Amino acid sequence: MLSVSGLHAGYGRIPILNNISFEVPTGQFVGIFGHNGMGKTTLLRVLAGQLPATAGSVALAGRDITRLAPHARARLGLGYVPQGRQIFSQLSVLENLRMGAIGTGRNEDEIERVLALFPRLKELRGRSGGVLSGGEQQILAIARCICGGPSTLLLDEPTEGIQPSIIEEIVEILATLRDKTRVTVVLVEQSLDFIRRLASRILIIQKGAIIRSMRTEEIGSIADELLGMHSE
């Protein structure tokens, strides 16, 4: 579903990503782990089209999207939930969901299907996004993205600053999406436990390069090493 080959990118003359290549099959969850400043968010921004690649290519379902604008990628099925959520705080929950659907030409029926996956939001549909808790805003950001009907979802630090009970809810939501919709997910996370519960594979990024790829079940044997790397 998603193919990245020889990707390079940076900010001005400062290189950040260095020859990144990986593939994500349809319906698979892949986690990306690394400590701050190693290029995780930059990678997602390049995949989403918010930052141009200086070399290499990105393909979605076999189509080269390397030079496409973010809205064009969204219409082809690439969804992005950035770090910090970025919901419309003045709009209601329902209006936020409508914005997600309208952006890719979806209708009200899609919103109702999404609300069935997010029961917490059903109860809050008339409330302004700005008065929701941080965890509820994160759930709303994911739901708004799903309203666009993505085949591939990019998630940047979805558990950051969120209480444990909401994290459990997000795990359940993403597991349901994985099992029922076969959506493909690239998940940037600093929580190894969160990655282990959802992803089938983990990519370790260091200094803008993928230095290791492993199955999630292998994490246990080197967890201390990974956490040590993360705290450097």
State phi, psi for 153 to the nearest 5 degrees: -125, 130
Q: Which domain holds residue 214?
A: 2-230
Give the per-residue pLDDT at 155.
93
Give the per-residue pLDDT at 232.
44
Q: How many other CB atoms are found less than 10 A from the CB of residue 30?
A: 22
If one counts the domains in the chain, the total is: 1
pLDDT, tens digit (0-9, with 9 covering 90-100), for 14-64: 888 999 999 999 888 999 988 777 788 999 999 999 999 999 999 999 999
CATH of the domain at 17: 3.40.50.300
Who contacts 160 (Cβ-Cβ below 8 Å, separation ≥6)?
83, 190
pLDDT, mean over the chain: 86
State mean pLDDT over 72-83: 91
Taking alpha carbons only, the member of 112, 3, 12, 111 closest to residue 58 is 3
In angstroms, what CA-CA distances link 131 with 79, 114, 124?
Answer: 25, 21, 10
Cα distance between residue 189 and residue 132, in whole Å: 23
Who contacts 214 (Cβ-Cβ below 8 Å, separation ≥6)?
201, 202, 204
